[in-house]
Structure 1
């Protein structure tokens, strides 16, 4: 792996990790900028680097903030899968349309992982109740984050690649 790749992987790992500390607690699932960074990572980095960057962040969160003990750990797992999927879908052809589709799929992956884990941890809640708690309140905010991530990745891609 090149020094440039290691540096960019470390940078995005730390940015994603640090974004987990800035929370707006509005319920059992707080609002963070993590999804924004996951989307940017997926849109900007090659699949291997996107995977490593989000995996390193997941490990940092497990070590330093005990994310694995949280009801929202499924979302963190979803970040790794999502960034990798987005990167696989956009690496060879990063058009705006392809970015929109891949970000939509990536966000859906995050929601599915987070919702299923949340439901697993709280089996007394119905799946519909869990969806209402974990996704519905965040749709508009995540839509805005997706638009900003696509715009930022488009700008950064010119510099990075």
Structure 2
């Protein structure tokens, strides 16, 4: 792995931490810019480095650095109501990057982003449902459905930004 790859992975881990702090609380799961950055990490860096950047982000938070929403950190956050979403970030970045690499173009980027978001929703919904004592219907109502319109917009925005970044740099 080249030094440049490590630097870009670290940059996206840091950007995810910043995105976590741009937060609107609407219940146990806040609206943040993390999903946008997660998708961008996969789309811009590719599947492997996107995955690595988000794995670094999750690891930083797990060891206690205040990188999660509301400057929280520690394993307790991963075990809490939002832990499933956070744990899904590396997988989502990988999927978004992989699908974009295999299919190419904005259509592949949007498709990869939407599948990545679906993975975030699935793992987040499962963890939130368990946290709510097995009430998966309530978890769907408060942890998935309110976010769908915004996250579809984030997927489109991520594809647009990634396409322009790749055209303007040697990352494409």
Query: In the TM superposition, what is the alpha-carbon distance from 1:7 to its structure 2 partner?
Result: 1.1
- Which aligned pairs between 1:118-133 and structure 2 lie closer than 5 A? 118-125=128-135, 127-133=136-142
Q: Which runs of 5+ in 1 are unaligned?
A: none
Answer with 93-102 or 4-13: which moved more: 93-102
1:27 aligns with 2:27: yes
Structure 2 segments unaligned to the other structure (5+ residues) = 66-72
Q: Distance in 2 between matches of 1:120 and 1:69?
A: 10
The aligned residue for residue 81 of structure 1 is: 91
User: Aligned partners of 1:35 and 1:19: how far apart in 2?
Assistant: 8
TM-score by length of 1: 0.93
1:93 Cα shift? 3.8
User: CA-atom RMSD, angstroms?
Assistant: 1.3
> Does structure 1 retain, via aligned residues, the 8 Å contact 2:106–2:160?
no
TM superposition outliers: structure 1 runs of 4+ over 4 Å: none
C-alpha contact 1:39 1:103 (8 A) present in aligned 2: yes
Report how many residues are paired. Answer: 160
Match for residue 3 of structure 1?
3
Assess if the C-alpha contact under 8 Å between 2:80 and 2:131 holds in 1: no
Equivalent runs, 1:69-148 vs 2, <5 Å: 69-125=79-135, 127-148=136-157
User: Equivalences for 1:57-68 in 2 at 5 Å?
Assistant: 57-62=57-62, 63-64=64-65, 65-66=73-74, 67-68=77-78
User: What per-residue deviation string (whole Å, max 9, x for no partner) do you get for residues 2-36 of structure 1?
Assistant: 12111111100110122212211011110000000
- 1:17 is aligned to 17
